């Protein structure tokens, strides 16, 4: 059981439903699930209905069932780049989360997997941000997941602002921003993080980088390039501009691993999406 604790901060009383869906981004699909779950929503330790009012200082706790069961959604469509009896590699589009969250219930890669493989548990081996596109490996059983974990070699492609060197390594520790649960930053007391890159293309406005990670920190590519003064195009969370693309220009374009059963070396590739490629077909501004 997963617990999410939320504190009511607004001075004016509102209904629980308005607080959750209007202020905290809880989807109505999730709210419905919580209402059907025994002890799904409590206020200050007591059960509460969605029509009841909440007031400043109230502590609302959402108790979510294990994500091992995901609601199937066959209306989604995610291309399969590779598949065998032990795993499947999806070519995830930007804008789609991998796992359900408080804001996303039913529209994730996990929900599409549940539609395709209703008898299997969703076990993602590598995780991509919602707006990062590209290859995502899902194991079909626990053993395959264990053997694949940490063994996949990934190559990313990113369009960054300005002209970067032909190649380089960014070695800078990454930590959580003290006032945020989302943002990361370069800070001396952070975890070691190393990013290797080479420049493939440049038009003065943007550079296209091929990137390999020596470590795998949250938002590592985005944080590292922002730290060097070349944030990803479209990545407004870390200083990128959305003049020409409306999401961070980051794509997982190649992934290599050994088959967990046979040991065979497998490499899967995905083309750089049009929204990133178009940044290099525009006239220089």
Could you say which DSSP state residue 186 is in? E
* Known active-site residue 66: no
Q: Which residue has the tokens 């809880």?
A: 26
Task: List the 46-47 sheet strands across, edge first.
Answer: 2-7, 59-64, 41-43, 46-47
For the chain, the C-alpha Rg in angstroms (whole number) is 21
Strand-strand pairing, 133-139 and 250-258: parallel
Q: Which of 67, 91, 107, 129 is catalytic?
A: 129
| φ/ψ (deg, to 5) at 142 | -65, -35
How far CA 257 is from CA of 84, 111, 127, in Å, comes to: 13, 25, 15
E-strand stretches of 77-236: 80-83, 87-92, 123-124, 133-139, 153-161, 167-171, 174-176, 184-186, 194-202, 206-213
Please list the active-site residues. Answer: 129
């Amino acid at each position: 059981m997963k617990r999410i604790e939320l504190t009511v901060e607004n001075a004016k009383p509102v209904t629980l439903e308005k607080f959750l869906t209007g202020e905290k981004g809880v989807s109505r699909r999730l709210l419905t699930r919580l209402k059907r779950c025994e002890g799904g929503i409590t206020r200050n330790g007591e059960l509460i209905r969605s029509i009841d009012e909440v007031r400043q200082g109230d502590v609302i706790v959402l108790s979510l069932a294990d994500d091992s069961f995901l609601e199937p959604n066959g209306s989604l469509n995610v291309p399969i780049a590779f598949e065998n009896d032990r795993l499947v590699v999806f070519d995830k589009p930007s804008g789609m989360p991998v796992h359900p969250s408080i804001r996303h219930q039913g529209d994730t890669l996990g929900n599409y997997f549940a539609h395709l493989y209703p008898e299997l548990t969703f076990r993602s081996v590598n995780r991509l941000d919602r707006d990062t596109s590209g290859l995502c490996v899902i194991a079909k059983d626990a053993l395959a997941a264990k053997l694949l974990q940490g063994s996949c070699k990934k190559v990313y492609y990113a369009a960054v602002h300005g002209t970067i060197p032909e190649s380089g390594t960014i070695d800078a520790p990454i930590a959580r921003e003290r006032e945020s649960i989302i943002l990361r930053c370069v800070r001396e007391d952070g975890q070691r993080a190393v990013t290797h890159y080479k420049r493939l293309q440049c038009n003065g406005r943007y550079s296209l980088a091929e990137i390999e990670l020596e470590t795998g920190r949250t938002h590592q590519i985005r944080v590292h390039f922002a730290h060097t003064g070349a944030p990803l195009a479209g990545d407004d969370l870390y200083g990128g501009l959305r003049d020409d693309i409306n999401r961070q220009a980051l794509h997982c374009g190649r992934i290599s691993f050994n088959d967990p059963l046979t040991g065979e070396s497998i490499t899967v590739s995905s083309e750089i999406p049009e929204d990133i490629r178009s940044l290099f077909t525009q006239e220089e501004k």
